[in-house]
Every structure is written in structure tokens, then in C-alpha cells.
Amino acid sequence: MIRHHFLIIVLVAVLAFIVAWLVWDGGVSAPDMSGTTPRLEFTKTGNIVHNNPGLNGNAWFLIYEKPGSAGLLAKLSFLDTSKCTFPGKHAVTCAPETLSDGMRVTVVGTQMADTVRVETLTVLADL
């Protein structure tokens, strides 16, 4: 009988030690959310650029302003569902090759980190 009590005490002590070690060592922790990026609604007006020095040569970027901040930059990602509207025309599927550096545009989309998935791009002025 004493032997059974002793084994139970040893088993409980070992389990307590293992749990304490896992918690202290970081083996048990909250789920890692660092791989998820929050999605934010994005609606900004600015100018688009392509192949500018220091930027990814194959991507379009929107340069826009925000009160109290220097010029901001958002990389644009065009999807098959992205629509572009040019002055006096109906919305069409965006073809990045129809865009020009310096165009004044309004972009509506979803921002994830520094990239905006374009839903609509409306050309306000072609420079």
C-alpha cells in the first residue's frame, strides 16, 4: 500500500516537472500569429509609377500622401478581377500595360502589409 502511494507521488511529481519545464522552456505557448497579416480596406488617390530606381522593376506602385507623413508607397497587385476605368470609358479588366507612369489615380482594394490587391483603379488624369 505504501509502495502504491509512493509511486503515485513520484508520478505526479514527474508530470508536474514536465509541465513546468514545457511552460518555462516555451514548449507550450500561444499560437503563432506572426504568419498572418491583417487585411485593411484601402482607398487612396495618388500617382502610379513603374520601373523607378530602388523599386521592384516589374511592379506598379502608388505614391500617395497622408497628413503628417512623408510620401507613402504601396505596391499594387492586379488580379484577374481587377477593374480599371479610364476617363470617358466603362470599367474594363485591368491590363497593366495600358497604364502610364505618373497617371493620377484612385485605387480601391485590400491592403496586406505593403501590397494592395487592386479591386478598382480609376484614372483621374494621364500625365
SS (H, E, C) 4-59: HHHHHHHHHHHHHHHHHHHHHHCCCCCCCCCCCCCEEEEEEEEEEEECCCCCCCCC
- Evaluate whether 94 touches 86 at the Cβ level (below 8 Å): no
Phi, psi angle pair for 104, to nearest 5°: -90, 120
Element (H, E) at 105: strand 104-112
- Measure the CA angle with vertex 43, ends 40 and 48; round to 5°: 115
pLDDT tens profile 12-41: 454 444 544 444 454 444 445 455 557 789
Beta strands, E only, 53-103:
60-64, 72-85, 92-93
The pLDDT score that the predictor gives to residue 8 is 57
Tens digit of pLDDT for each residue in 48-67? 999 888 887 789 999 999 88
**Residue 3 has which C-alpha cell?**
509502495
